[in-house]
Amino acid sequence: MPLSFQVLGQPGRDNALFVKLDSGQAQTRFLFDCGDGCPHQLPAAELREIDHLCFSHLHIDHVAGFDLFFRTNFNRTSKENRIWVPPGSGAIIGHRLRGFLWNLVGDRDPGEWLVSECGPDAIRTVRYCASEGFAVAHPEPDRPRRRRVIVDGGAFTLEAVLLDHGTPSAGYIVREAPHVNVDTEKLAALGLSPGPWLKRLRDPAAGPDDTVAVAGARHSLARLRRQLLVTTPGDSIAYLTDFRVDASANELATALHGVNTVVCESHYRSADVHLAAAAMHSTAAEVAAMAKTAGVGRLILFHVSDRYDAAARRDMLLEAQAVFAATAMVQGW
């Protein structure tokens, strides 16, 4: 599968989400939050290849497992070390990076870490260097945001949507780029043989007036594209946790429209909505209503309060399914 995911952690304990996107040419790995014990569930090889660590916010149950991830990758140079956080949280990550004794590091440890705050209008990034023991924060130029997109990887986009947990919190959406394929039946019907020209046909840099040679004859590239190319949407997944859905419902419904899978907190049952409001969390029925309004493909509930046992979690799931039938809980919960 081009996009796969794994919910990490246990019910009533710290959780996180691991996502892998395989475009056919490259693999991109995302880790959303870093709760206690969560990185330990990933093979070391996967942990070393994470491209983007995305924090919803920095309460301890979302950060407590960071040390293993950082220990594994602190001087990594094979790829960028990227951390994404909501506004106002970058300095806390800087303190985490500096919170160890680094007297033995030096030029032989050239790894750099980019910590980016996803503000409403701009992305503010600070660079930290392993060779300096992460002691100096080097500001990078601010980068304006294009809507919700914080990373455009060509084969995918990563979006951040700001939420309210009594402190800024961020939800994230990974969208695979649309698939552009050649309709082989139409190709045969036109009497055209496959060949290197198909690469040119799918090249987005080609101009509308360009032509392509097929078996010695010139053909309009624009016409062949209309006749042969079929575009299908890519897969998508969203990660939402620690927020009051009623404070963010309209923006979320817009951001999540058409997302295939939404992994979302369901911290409380409907009977405990007063607890949800006081703690700036959401109930299972509330997030189910949000998913229904947004028209998502399916909703997966996670990050459940430890006040609920397995029977209560089954009842919680039924409450959500009564609102949005395409709801499930993490398998085994």
Q: Tell me: the pLDDT tens digits for 280-314?
A: 999 999 999 999 999 999 999 999 999 999 999 99
Same-domain status, 297 and 208? no
* Catalytic (active site) residue 36: no
User: CATH number of the domain that 49 lies in?
Assistant: 3.60.15.10
What one-character DSSP code corresponds to residue 283?
Answer: B
- Rounded CA-CA distance 224/214 in Å is 11
- Global pTM reads 0.90
Same-domain status, 29 and 150? yes
Q: Tell me: the pLDDT tens digits for 163-181?
A: 999 999 999 999 999 878 7
Mean pLDDT of the chain: 93
Question: Which tokens sit at 45?
Answer: 């090889």
Judge whether 291 lies within some domain: yes
Lowest mean per-residue pLDDT among 55-64, 114-123, 219-228 = 219-228
Q: Phi-psi bin for 4: left (phi > 0), alpha (psi -120 to 50), beta? A: beta
- Mean pLDDT over 142-157 rounds to 92
**From the CB of residue 202, how many other CB atoms can be counted at a distance below 10 Å?**
13
Same-domain status, 163 and 288? no
Q: What pLDDT does 221 receive?
A: 86
Q: What pLDDT does 13 receive?
A: 96
Total domains in the chain come to 3
**From the CB of residue 142, how many other CB atoms can be counted at a distance below 10 Å?**
13
Q: What pLDDT does 244 receive?
A: 93
Which of 177, 202, 221 represents a domain boundary (last residue)? 177
- Rounded CA-CA distance 297/260 in Å is 4
Same-domain status, 20 and 125? yes
- Rounded CA-CA distance 12/66 in Å is 19
Q: Tell me: the pLDDT tens digits for 239-267?
A: 999 999 876 667 888 999 989 999 999 99
Residue located via tokens 């939420």: 163
- Rounded CA-CA distance 271/260 in Å is 29
Q: What pLDDT does 91 receive?
A: 97
Same-domain status, 6 and 123? yes
Q: Phi-psi bin for 84: left (phi > 0), alpha (psi -120 to 50), beta? A: beta
Same-domain status, 195 and 250? no
Same-domain status, 119 and 40? yes
Report, in angstroms and rounded to the nearest whole number, the Rg of the chain calculated over CA atoms: 23
Segment of 107-111, 118-122, 144-148 carrying the highest mean pLDDT: 118-122
User: Which one of 61, 67, 164, 315 is the catalytic residue?
Assistant: 61
Structural domain boundaries, residue 250 = 244-333
SS3 330: coil
